[in-house]
Amino acid sequence: MVYGKLSGDKEYVRRFSAYRIIEHIALIALFAALAATGLSQKFYALGVSQSLIAVLGGIDSVRFLHHLAGALFTALVAQHVLLNFWGIVYRQWEPSMLVNFNDFVDALHNVRYYIGIADRPAVRARYNYKEKFIYWLILLGGIQMIVTGFILWFPVAATKYFPGQFIPASKVVHTNEAMLIFLLVAIWHIYDSMFSPDVFPLDKSIFIGYSEKKRFERRLAEPENEAGAKNRELQRR
Amino acid sequence: MSDTPAKLFFMEKDDKIEAGVLGEGLLFSAVGSRYRLSQRGDGVRAAKCILYVVFIFCLVLHARPSYAQERAAGEEKRQCLRCHSEKNSVKKFPDGDFVSTYVDSVALDKSVHRSLPCTACHVDFSALSHPDRAFRNKLQYRIRESHGCRHCHTDRVIRSRAIHEALFKKEGSGEAVICTDCHSAHAVARITGGNVSTSEDNYCLRCHAFENRMRFRNGEFRSIRVDVAEFRDSPHRNVGCSDCHFGFSAQEHPDRRFSSERTYRLSSAEICKRCHFDKYSKISESIHYSMLNSGRLDAPTCIDCHGSHAVLSLSRSRLSVVQKCKACHSGIYEIYARSVHGSALFKENNKDVPICIDCHSSHSIKDPSSSEFHDYIPDLCSKCHSNAAIMGKYGLSVDVVKSYLADFHGVTLGLYRKEAQKRYRADRPMAVCTDCHGTHGITNVSGADLLTIKKNLRKRCHTCHTNATENFPDAWLSHYKPSLRVAPLVFIVEEFYKLMMPLMVIGLLFQVFLDIWRYFASR
């Protein structure tokens, strides 16, 4: 972990690099664009959807914007996967998002915490199991959306390689998965980074790159575990 | 003679009414007086009674001026008819048109105006003056003469009959209303039972019941015989000849010339709008009317479908409607006759199957090649195919329209239609029912084998999806709901998400709740 001072007396902990900040902002923009243009198509009968479709210039124009945002999202996901794969394999980047044994231990510990057996929740220094869970759900769900999205975008081309039934099936996956991811973000991610008592009113770290040391102290005070020690070892090099 | 005869007449008429009222009042007072007199001496009473009776007798005599009036009118009429009984005499107009000045004295004597002197209506004329009036044309003459009626028949009285209300509206908008168009001139008859010119029909039929021919400028002929039996059976049996044949009456028979039979029929069709204006306004939006406007004289008008004297209400027989359309659209008729709908109509006289007008409407027929018409085809089909009562008879599903509307094409079409009401115009057509099932030649799907359907469907897909592969038609589940038998993959995915979605939402909300609760509990 890198310690530093941004301004004033508060001490900060460096959490995200500029690259991750830009990546996240791009993701927010594309997620919003895809959700707005996609959900208005899913719930086309609602008045608000129809108003949005009218404002954006008709259903054909909404579909064009959805395809455009989808293509950019595909690029974003592709660079993320390729770059991280390259970094981890060839540049010894810390594979901090990989799920490991401790995550299951933490999850079990948290069950005990929530039913009142344990006093404190599981704490993990860099990314806890909840953060990893949402990351993987969004990444894998996103890839699923990309695949089904392209099938729906080019149905004739898709039926050259797949049976015709793949198209309605893709539609079912695309529309339901979209809803799933949307609810996941709307319920869990927004809670975790905005309304959770730990971070309320907003966990700014993903935008400024730093976390307040005071707020992060609980995580830092945690005793080292095996994987964490290894990670830190890797980071020092 | 300073007063004109007309004025004199009105004064006499008014006098009569006053005298009548006065006489009646006196009669009552005479009865009253006699009662009071009985209290006095008998001699005086008798004398006074005689005096009253004589006085009343004088009044009653005076109250019958029609004697004198009729005598005066008769004298005048004789004088006028000396010239106006001449059958060949006409009044000519600058445009070459003319009106007969002949007055049928027999008809006049039978008319309700028989007691009126000629000058009561023809106010410009008198025994001493016969001005030579100039008119631009016959219409102007007729309008002017019609004004005479309004002197006695005030607007208030005319308005008391609802039938005249439309005429007042017409007059209000600047059009001329001529009383004699309906009531005829000298032979004006009492209007009873709504039948204006019963006698007129018989008059016309004296010639038109027999085979006669009308000649057109291009050499064509046309019979002008009226089939009386047919006419008496038609819904117009109580309508007089001149109600439709505007400008014709027992007195007038203008000699109109038409370039061809078609132009004659087109002009005759214009007659109908005088009463059936609602239908006319619908027709004015139709493709037939716009064809006519663009110079296609063969476009059908009212009488081409409904006939003329034997006018037909087409709602009576669905088969006859189809036959009417066949006259021009024989190619489509052949295709329709072979279709599932057409064959049911012809073989079983099935009342449920659609005929031409059920989809195309009867009067406001839209251009079927227009995108507006195309986009509303699902509405047309759903009139029957969403109706459980009709579909139940034939074991057909009512979900076909619903499944179409929920799919890509249906959703897009619905949005296109909404946009069309605003400012956007869709730049591509969306497949509707007929694009897959065909239009007039719709066949029964359940009878055909699956391979043929798929092959045909692929052809249909090709119209828009030019590179459609063999697998492509399977992307459409043929209106079926996904199930393990029909579309197992779609069904399994659907069921998976049906289970996953609530599980995840409940799980997440539970997690949030626990998180908050434990945070505060452990502080």
pLDDT tens series, chain B, 523 aa = 334 343 333 333 333 333 333 333 333 333 333 434 344 456 677 777 677 777 776 565 554 445 555 566 777 888 888 888 888 888 888 888 888 888 888 888 878 888 788 888 888 888 778 888 888 888 888 888 888 888 888 887 787 765 676 677 778 888 888 888 777 788 776 654 334 444 666 778 878 888 888 889 998 888 888 888 888 888 888 888 888 888 887 777 887 889 999 999 998 888 888 888 898 999 998 999 999 999 999 999 999 988 888 887 666 788 888 998 999 999 999 999 999 999 999 999 888 999 999 999 989 999 998 888 888 899 999 999 999 999 999 988 898 999 999 889 999 988 888 877 665 566 678 899 998 888 898 888 776 677 777 888 888 898 889 888 888 988 888 888 899 988 899 999 999 999 999 999 999 898 888 888 888 877 6
Residues of chain A positioned with their CB less than 8 A from the CB of B521: 116
Type of residue at B515:
D
Q: Which residues contact A162 (CB under 8 A, 6 or more apart)?
A: A151, B471
Residue with tokens 């009071």: B36
Burial of B120 (0-12, 13-18, 19+ CB in 10 A): buried
Task: Judge if B468 and B373 occupy the same domain.
Answer: yes
Q: Which of A44, A159, A171 sits opposite B472 (nearest CB)?
A: A159
Q: Is residue B447 part of a domain?
A: yes
Q: Do A176 and B509 touch (CB under 8 A)?
A: no
Distance from A173 to chain B by nearest Cα, in Å? 7
Task: Judge if B473 and B373 occupy the same domain.
Answer: yes
Q: Which of B468, B482, B501 sits opposite A156 (nearest CB)?
A: B468
Q: Which of A60, A163, A196 sits opposite B474 (nearest CB)?
A: A163
Residues of chain A positioned with their CB less than 8 A from the CB of B457: none
Q: Do A164 and B472 touch (CB under 8 A)?
A: yes
Q: Is residue B318 part of a domain?
A: no
Q: Which residues contact B410 (CB under 8 A, 6 or more apart)?
A: B378, B404
Torsion of CA B344, B349, B354, B355, to 10 degrees: 110
Query: Which two tokens mark B190?
Result: 């009492």
Residues of chain A positioned with their CB less than 8 A from the CB of B414: 44
Q: Within an 8 Å CB–CB cutoff, is residue A87 touching chain B?
A: no
Which residues of B31-152 form beta strands (DSSP E)? 90-92, 98-100
Q: What are phi and psi of A180, to 5 degrees?
A: -60, -50
Q: Do A119 and B522 touch (CB under 8 A)?
A: yes
Q: Is residue B30 part of a domain?
A: no
Helical packing angle, A166-183 and A18-42, nearest 10°: 120
Number of Cβ within 10 Å of residue B90's Cβ equals: 13
pLDDT score of A217 more than 70: no
How far is residue B511's CA from residue A114's CA, in Å, rounded to a whole number?
9
How far is residue A6's CA from residue A3's CA, in Å, rounded to a whole number?
10
How far is residue A176's CA from residue A56's CA, in Å, rounded to a whole number?
24
- Say what the pLDDT of residue B388 is: 93
Residues of chain B positioned with their CB less than 8 A from the CB of A148: none
Q: Is residue A5 part of a domain?
A: no
Q: Which of A165, A177, A191 sits opposite B489 (nearest CB)?
A: A165
Dihedral sign computed on CA atoms, order B52, B57, B59, B60: positive
Q: Do A159 and B426 touch (CB under 8 A)?
A: no
Q: Is residue A110 part of a domain?
A: no
Q: Do B471 and A168 touch (CB under 8 A)?
A: no
CB A54 within 8 A of CB B420: no
Identify the CA nearest to B146 among candidates B16, B42, B249. Answer: B249
CA angle B264, B269, B273 (to 5 degrees): 145
Q: Is residue B385 part of a domain?
A: yes
Ramachandran region, residue B478 (left: φ > 0; alpha: ψ -120 to 50; beta: rest): left
Task: Judge if B380 and B452 occupy the same domain.
Answer: yes
CA angle B407, B410, B416 (to 5 degrees): 135
Query: Which two tokens mark B345?
Result: 């109509």
pLDDT score of A39 more than 70: yes
How far is residue B29's CA from residue B35's CA, in Å, rounded to a whole number?
10
DSSP string, B439-462: STT---TTTS-HHHHHHHHHHHHH
Identify the CA nearest to B477 among candidates B399, B416, B412. Answer: B399
Q: Which of A168, A180, A196 sits opposite B490 (nearest CB)?
A: A168
Distance from A155 to chain B by nearest Cα, in Å? 8
Q: Is residue A26 part of a domain?
A: yes
Where b means 16+ CB within 10 Å and e means fewer, B216-254 reads beeeeeeeeebeeeebeebebeebbbbbbbeebbbbbee
Q: Which of A58, A119, A164 sits opposite B475 (nearest CB)?
A: A164
Distance from B486 to chain A by nearest Cα, in Å? 10
Burial of B121 (0-12, 13-18, 19+ CB in 10 A): buried
Query: Which two tokens mark B477?
Result: 């589940």
Q: Which residues contact B333 (CB under 8 A, 6 or more apart)?
A: B322, B325, B326
Task: Judge if A82 and A37 occupy the same domain.
Answer: yes
What is the residue range of A81's domain?
Answer: 19-95
Burial of B72 (0-12, 13-18, 19+ CB in 10 A): middle
Distance from A92 to chain B by nearest Cα, in Å? 35
Q: Is residue B450 part of a domain?
A: yes
Q: Is residue A78 part of a domain?
A: yes
Burial of B467 (0-12, 13-18, 19+ CB in 10 A): exposed
pLDDT tens digit sequence for A75-129? 999 999 999 999 999 988 888 888 888 888 888 888 888 887 877 777 776 788 8
- Say what the pLDDT of residue B29 is: 38
Q: Identify the residue among A167, A183, A196, A198 best suited for mutation to test binding to B, counting B beta carbons within 10 A and taking the highest.
A: A167
Q: Is residue A73 part of a domain?
A: yes
Q: What is the CA radius of gyration of chain A?
A: 21
Distance from A237 to chain B by nearest Cα, in Å? 37
Average confidence score pLDDT of chain A: 84
Distance from B439 to chain A by nearest Cα, in Å? 25
Q: Within an 8 Å CB–CB cutoff, is residue A162 touching chain B?
A: yes
Q: Do A187 and B477 touch (CB under 8 A)?
A: no
- Say what the pLDDT of residue B383 is: 93
Q: What is the CA radius of gyration of chain B?
A: 39
Residues of chain B positioned with their CB less than 8 A from the CB of A121: 518
Helical packing angle, A129-153 and A166-183, nearest 10°: 150
Looking at the structure of chain A, the number of domains it has is 2
Q: Is residue B514 part of a domain?
A: yes
- Answer yes or no: is the ipTM higher than 0.85: no
Domain end residue (candidates: B254, B273, B306): B306
Residues of chain A positioned with their CB less than 8 A from the CB of B516: 196-197
Task: Judge if A138 and A199 occupy the same domain.
Answer: yes
- Say what the pLDDT of residue B196 is: 45
Residues of chain B positioned with their CB less than 8 A from the CB of A59: 412, 415-416, 419
Task: Judge if B487 and B476 occupy the same domain.
Answer: no
Task: Judge if B503 and B434 occupy the same domain.
Answer: no
- Say what the pLDDT of residue A7 is: 55
Q: Do A187 and B509 touch (CB under 8 A)?
A: yes
Task: Judge if A150 and A198 occupy the same domain.
Answer: yes
Answer whether the bond into residue A201 is a cis peptide, omega within 30°: yes
Q: Do B415 and A58 touch (CB under 8 A)?
A: yes
Size of interface A-B (CB pairs under 8 A): 112
Q: Is residue B338 part of a domain?
A: no
Identify the CA nearest to B237 among candidates B246, B247, B227. Answer: B227
CB B260 within 8 A of CB B252: no
Q: Identify the residue among B425, B493, B498 best suited for mutation to test binding to A, counting A beta carbons within 10 A and taking the highest.
A: B493
Residue B405: its H or E element: helix B400-406
- Say what the pLDDT of residue B248 is: 82
Q: How many CA atoms lie within 13 A of B314 on its CB side?
A: 22
CB B188 within 8 A of CB B111: yes
How far is residue A84's CA from residue A78's CA, in Å, rounded to a whole number?
10
Looking at the structure of chain B, the number of domains it has is 3
Q: Do B497 and A164 touch (CB under 8 A)?
A: no
Q: Which of A59, A119, A177 sits opposite B412 (nearest CB)?
A: A59
Dihedral sign computed on CA atoms, order A148, A150, A152, A157: negative
pLDDT tens digit sequence for A136-167? 999 999 999 999 999 999 999 999 999 999 99
Residues of chain B positioned with their CB less than 8 A from the CB of A117: none
What is the residue range of B217's domain?
Answer: 198-306
Distance from A35 to chain B by nearest Cα, in Å? 17
Q: Is residue B242 part of a domain?
A: yes
Task: Judge if B437 and B506 occupy the same domain.
Answer: no
- Say what the pLDDT of residue A37 is: 96
Dihedral sign computed on CA atoms, order A171, A172, A175, A177: negative
Q: Do B501 and A60 touch (CB under 8 A)?
A: no
How far is residue A34's CA from residue A57's CA, in Å, rounded to a whole number?
16
Distance from B461 to chain A by nearest Cα, in Å? 10
Task: Judge if B424 and B494 occupy the same domain.
Answer: no
Helical packing angle, B318-326 and B340-348, nearest 10°: 120
Q: Identify the residue among A134, A140, A165, A200 best suited for mutation to test binding to B, counting B beta carbons within 10 A and taking the highest.
A: A165
Higher pLDDT, B7 or A204: A204
Q: Within an 8 Å CB–CB cutoff, is residue A165 touching chain B?
A: yes
Q: What is the 3-state secondary structure (H, E, C) of chain A?
A: CEEEECCCCCEEEECCCHHHHHHHHHHHHHHHHHHHHHHHHHCCCCHHHHHHHHHCCCHHHHHHHHHHHHHHHHHHHHHHHHHHHHHHHHCCCCCCCCCCHHHHHHHHHHHHHHCCCCCCCCCCCCCCHHHHHHHHHHHHHHHHHHHHHHHHHCHHHHHHHCCCCHHHHHHHHHHHHHHHHHHHHHHHHHHHHHHCCCCCCCCCHHHHCEEEHHHHHHHHCCCCCHHHHHHHHHHHC
Provide the 3-class DSSP secondary structure of residue B18. helix
Strand pairing category for B98-100 and B90-92: antiparallel
Residues of chain A positioned with their CB less than 8 A from the CB of B428: 60
Task: Judge if A27 and A84 occupy the same domain.
Answer: yes
Distance from B474 to chain A by nearest Cα, in Å? 4
Contact map slice: A 21-60 vs B, CB within 8 A: 41, 44, 50, 53-54, 57-60
Distance from B508 to chain A by nearest Cα, in Å? 6
Q: Which of A59, A155, A173 sits opposite B493 (nearest CB)?
A: A173
Task: Judge if B223 and B277 occupy the same domain.
Answer: yes
The 8-class DSSP code of residue B342 comes to H
